[in-house]
Each structure stands twice: as structure tokens, then as C-alpha cells.
Structure 1
Amino acid sequence: MNPGATPPRVAVVVLNWNRTADTIECLASLARVTYPGAEIVVVDNGSRPSPREQVLAQFPSVTYLENPHNLGYAGGNNVGLRYALAHGHQYVCVLNNDTVVEPDFLRAAVAAAESDPRIAVVGVKVLAFRDPSKVWVAYGKLTYGHGLVQLVGFYADDSRFAVACDVDWVPGTALLLRRSALEQIGLFDEEFFAYHEDVDWCTAAREAGWRVVFAPSARILHKGHGTSGQGYVTPRQYLSGHNMVLFVRKHARWYQALRFLAAQLAALPLQYLTRRWRGEQAGVFLKIRGMLDALRGRPLPLEELGLR
């Protein structure tokens, strides 16, 4: 940004689903950001009971939107994205509610985005909440291996994570999205519901000729609670399997799809044996079921998974 220029209008969308304490701590950190005039938009994804009064009592200046039921990460954040676009914001930061931001994170992210109009999205350096000397995740690589993607992080915050760079994708923990890119590419694909929608959007952006950039000077802390349960036998396994296949069908070339298939055939038996020893083999079956449902085009069993 040029000194003295009017800074771009930015909205920060924070999605909440039954984790109000985390959301309040996140909002408290956002109240200290140095970026001028950012609008904070809380989207509640059908929490029971509704935290509306509690949130607005402590943060009366936030914009509060409420969904009737859980729309997932993709659908819930899309509500906030639509609001931000309708109200003229030039950038929208999608931020997980289990994060605490550094005061200058938004200023640094916007500065990175403003350096090149071809940048569709900026990802930030995500540090571990309990040990901020460690990088939780910086960015991701698209491998078409057994996990489809590889996260880059989980190391000390050193020179490996000190330089801005173009990457395959940046995680949805915190994304700064450019308005014109959203208008061209569209919002998050709600078929993904949760998990891999960030990979999908970044891939679509790169396919359309946009840049996806990691900005290490923008920093946040991440607790990593998640909203689909802890442990291995959780809805996350179903959604992971389902959405990997959905992504491959949507984006992969034939040789990439073949690589993904070979990786699954090699990895799933080993995963079953490992998880069976731990009594967690049901998680592997959930993952396989998700894959098969995606191949067959079946709707997500959200009520059965406890997600609605």
C-alpha cells in the first residue's frame, strides 16, 4: 500500500459452531488489530444454544449473522463472503475461530496481496498456540498421494518459513481473498462441506491464472481444536475420503488420478492394520465409505454423522 493512500476495505469472517469460548478469544485478539476499519463478521453455523447475546454483549460492534443449521465450513463461510461482497469490501479474510491473531497480521496480509493484482489469496504463517516457536502449518503441496496433499510445517519457526513464495494452496485456517478473484472463481464449493475446500479453491484460482501466495510476516496462533471431533473415528475420516475423491474428479488429469488410486490401494490396507491394532478400524471404513459415496454421487449423510 502507498503511504497516505486509503487502505482497501477488509472484512474478517469468523465462523462459529458450538465453540463460543474460542470465538470470543479470537474476537478479543481481532479487537487489537492495527488495520484501520476492518469489519468483523461473525457467522454462527446453527449453534445450540445460540451465542448471539453473549457475543454481542462483549463485542457490540461486530456484524452477527446466524444460519438456521450447520452449513459446514464452505457453506457457513460463504454466508460471510456474500455479505462482505455485497457491502463493498475489497478483501475478505476467512479466519478459523480457534485462532488468536497478532495485531499486525491483517496489515501484513493486505500488504502482500497489494504487491501484485494477480494474487488471488494470501495465506499466513500459522503458529502453534501452545508453543509459538513452532510452525503449525505454513502452506500445502498438492501431491495426489494417499493423503492427496502434504502440509508444510510442524517445525521450528526458522529460515524455512521466512520468505514469501507462490505455493499450491494455503490452508483455510486463515485466508485473505481478493474480491475480483472471488467474483471470477466463485465462493467455496459447498459440495465439500468441510475439509479440502481450501485446496479446491486455490487450485481453481491457479487454473484460472491467479497466484496463491504464502506471506510469513502475517502471523496467527492456532489451537487446532476442530469441530468434527477428536481422535480417529470421527466424521472427519468420512469427509476426508469423500472430498479427496471429489477433488480428484474435479481437477485431476488422468495420470494424477491414476497416481491417487495407486496410493489409496497401497495405503488403505496398511491403515486398516495399524488402526485395527489400536481398535480404530472403524475410522478406515468411514474413509472408504466416504470415497465410495463420492464416486456414486450420493449426498452427504450429515445427520448420521452428527453434523446437522
Structure 2
Amino acid sequence: MLHIVIPVFNRWAFTRECLLSLRRQTNRNFRVVVVDDGSTDGTAEALAREFPEVTVLHGTGFLFWTAGVNLGIRHALRHGADRVMTLNNDVQAAPDFIEQMLKAAAKHPRALLGALELDADTHAPVYGGEQFSFLTHRPRHLLHVLPPEQRRGLHPVTYLPGRGLLIPATALAHVGLFDEKRLPHYLADYDYTSVARRRGFPVFINYEARLLTYPDESGQEQTRRRRSLRGYYEHLFGIRGGGNLRNFTHFALKNCPAPLVPLFLLNGYARRMVGYFLH
């Protein structure tokens, strides 16, 4: 059975809407595991009151995304999960989201799958997968190159985000869990799917499965909106910093082809140090 792992820290309103969207699924053959990492806004009490069917695991407040997800995955595997999905709490699933993901998984049982993302307010597509070049340091955004009539079915990508990532248990057995030691918050999802792809597990974006997201609510966007010296420091060195140089270095050393590592690192450092002020 599919187990859906959702790490949360506060923001109960988002978590509630996410869980309500899962209740509306056309395929309900799944279990939900919420990892509450020390929320202080009444999340634990509200979960027990409104969603008794959800399994809740409690963290210390210092798990961050990666360790929280790993805690949920371990629980899922102990309880017989044949597939695990990581899902952020600030998304809503279209009613046939699980149905479409499991349909694709049945046809490609070794594949890791992601979903097309739509802006929750406008329903315009905002993310449709990337094919990344380590040489040029530029992603080829499929939404920019695929004509509307080709935005269907599965498309191979270089990596996938963790907000709606379906992982077969066979991949978890071969690749292991997410790298919580070196990538405690950001890039762990891109790293995991990149490693899995190189180990022979296909990585696809599924245009039939749709998630509603809030692009402006990500930690990276909020940090950039509050531009300051402190924000700049957090951007480059904080655990939740979207431009964290340490995390980027680990990602590069693990995933970039060896001959390209020096150029890739220099390019990436420059982008992160300057990009904070340009976006």
C-alpha cells in the first residue's frame, strides 16, 4: 500500500487543506503519515481532533525536512509500504492525483514520479519538470519547450522536488533514505532523485497528475522578500537557506560529472551569492 509522508512545522491552515484534498481522492488506497516536528500552533491537537485516520509522528523541532521525511519513510516501510510519497503540507492534490500517480506507477514500477504543479490561485502551470545541464548550469524547463498538446503523460527529467514525489520501495531498498546528514533541508529531494536515476531507476514528471501549489509561500521566496544582511547570511549559510553554499557543494560533489565539478561549483557559488539580490 502507498504511504504518504507529510513533514510539518506549524502552518496548520495549509496542513488542513492538504489533508482535506487527500480525503477527496478518487483512489483512497493509501495511508497518511504526518511528521509534526515540534509545531507550536496547535497542529498536534487539531490533527487528533479533525483527522483521526492520520498517523502522527512527533519530532523534536530540529528534524527539518530531510530527517522528518526519513522518520516517516521508516515508519511506512515497517508497516509494509510498497510505495512511499513525500508531500509538502502547502499543496493541495487534485481529486484524481493519487489515481493518476498509481496508474503511472503500475506501468513503470521502478520509476520515481513527480507531478505537474499549478498555481493554487490562478491554476496556471508553474512547474513541469527540468532536464538539467551540469555544463551550462541551466535547466531546460519542460513547460517552456513542450507545446500544450504534448503536455500529457510521462516525461523524463533529471531530478524531482519532494512535494509530491512517489518512490517505489525497491528504490528505497537500493538507494536508501534521503541524505539528512549532508542535506538537512534543501536539495535533499533533487539529490535523491538524481542518485536514483543514475542507479537505474527512471525519473519522470507525470503531466496527468496535478498539484495545486503556492509558489510565494516557499521558504526561499520568503527569505528573498525580506532582503537584509541577516537574510543574506541565512540565504547562504542557514539550514533553511535556499542558496546554502555547503548544501550546494555536497550536491555538486555527489551528482556533477567529475570533470565539470570545478566549473559547476564556481558558477553555482556566483549564482547564489548574487542571485539573492536579483530575484
Structure-to-structure mapping, 1:58-73, within 5 angstroms: 58-73=50-65
AA matched with 1:206 = R
Asked if the contact 1:135–1:154 (Cα under 8 Å) also holds between the matched residues in 2, the reply is no
Aligned partners of 1:101, 1:268: CA distance in 2, in Å? 31
Residue in structure 2 matched with residue 39 of structure 1 by the alignment: 31
1:76 pairs with 68, 71, 81, which one? 68
Shift of 1:148: 7.0
TM-score (norm 2): 0.85
Confirm or deny that 1:216 pairs with 2:210: no
Asked if the contact 1:67–1:76 (Cα under 8 Å) also holds between the matched residues in 2, the reply is yes
Q: SS state of the match for residue 81, structure 1?
A: helix
AA matched with 2:71 = V
Deviations 1:35-81 (A, max 9, x none): 23311111111212452111121111111111011311111111111
Asked if the contact 2:134–2:264 (Cα under 8 Å) also holds between the matched residues in 1, the reply is yes
Residue in structure 1 matched with residue 132 of structure 2 by the alignment: 142
Confirm or deny that 1:226 pairs with 2:201: no
CA RMSD, Structure 1 to Structure 2 (Å): 2.6
Residue in structure 2 matched with residue 290 of structure 1 by the alignment: none
Asked if the contact 1:146–1:264 (Cα under 8 Å) also holds between the matched residues in 2, the reply is no
Structure 1's unaligned 5+ residue stretches are: 1-8, 281-308
Aligned partners of 1:68, 1:146: CA distance in 2, in Å? 40
Shift of 1:163: 3.5
Aligned partners of 1:265, 1:61: CA distance in 2, in Å? 45
1:263 pairs with 258, 262, 267, which one? 267
1:206 pairs with 197, 208, 214, which one? 197
Asked if the contact 1:138–1:170 (Cα under 8 Å) also holds between the matched residues in 2, the reply is no
Structure 2's unaligned 5+ residue stretches are: none
Residues 90-99 or 46-55, more deviating: 46-55
Deviations 1:180-216 (A, max 9, x none): 1011101110021111111111111111111001111
Aligned partners of 1:135, 1:156: CA distance in 2, in Å? 12
Aligned partners of 2:192, 2:248: CA distance in 1, in Å? 14
Aligned partners of 1:61, 1:222: CA distance in 2, in Å? 24
Structure-to-structure mapping, 1:129-278, within 5 angstroms: 129-132=120-123, 134-144=124-134, 152-153=142-143, 158-190=148-180, 191-224=182-215, 225-227=217-219, 230-232=222-224, 233=227, 234=231, 235-238=234-237, 239=241, 240=243, 241-264=245-268, 267=271, 271=274, 275=277
Confirm or deny that 1:57 pairs with 2:49: yes
Deviations 1:87-113 (A, max 9, x none): 001111111100111111011111111
Residues 107-116 or 46-55, more deviating: 46-55
Aligned partners of 1:44, 1:157: CA distance in 2, in Å? 40
AA matched with 1:165 = H
Residue in structure 2 matched with residue 293 of structure 1 by the alignment: none
Aligned partners of 2:24, 2:159: CA distance in 1, in Å? 28
Residues 150-159 or 214-223, more deviating: 150-159
Residue in structure 2 matched with residue 6 of structure 1 by the alignment: none
Residue in structure 2 matched with residue 21 of structure 1 by the alignment: 13
Aligned partners of 1:155, 1:128: CA distance in 2, in Å? 19
Instruction: Count matched residues.
Output: 265
